[in-house]
Amino acid sequence: MKKIFLLSVVFLTLLGVGARAANAQGTAKTGPAPATVRDPDLEKDAMHNLEVARHYFKLKKAYLAAIQRCEEVIASNPTFARIDEILFIAGESSLLLSQGKGKQTSKLPAAKLRDDAREYLSQLVNDYPDSSFRKQADEDLKAVGGVKVKEANQ
């Protein structure tokens, strides 16, 4: 009798775990998940970095500092709602630094800075074709070799 009781308890436990796991998978009625779920804290932090990058870029002409803020956002929150503006500021700052403009200098060679500018601006054009920064990015890409085509395996 004890064996039957013990087997019944084990069976019911396994049945409960299996039902919970099946329920966790959801149903077709719930529909697809939202395209992009954004963490409000990451968005707030990224927005602060964007505002600082804008300040460095537009007012201070501190392009190296602007790039660093943009790279921080790209690394920590690649789904940021304003990532197109981040890519634009990073690309423009790299391009301007490669031309020796601004109040800061970079230890990187001008060719590397131009390549970086091409990467950022190409990502903007390829991934965000409806961005308000697209037109300026297209113009600047002409100076650095045109849009870099996305590779199929990325």
Digit-coded pLDDT (tens) for 18-30 = 656 555 555 445 5
Beta strands, E only, 8-78: none
User: pLDDT, tens digit, for every residue of 52-94?
Assistant: 999 999 999 999 999 999 999 999 999 999 999 999 999 999 9
Q: What share of the chain has pLDDT > 70, as a percent? A: 76
pLDDT of residue 38: 86
Report which residue type is found at 31.
G
Q: Determine the residue type at 83.
A: I
Q: Cα 70 to the chain's mean position, in Å? A: 10
Residue reference for tokens 């990187």: 108
Cα separation, 108 vs 82, whole angstroms: 27
pTM: 0.75
| pLDDT over threshold 50, residue 152 | yes
**Cβ atoms 148, 91 nearer than 8 A:** no
Domains and CATH numbers, the chain: 40-143 (1.25.40.10)
The mean pLDDT of the chain is 86
DSSP 8-state code for residue 78: T
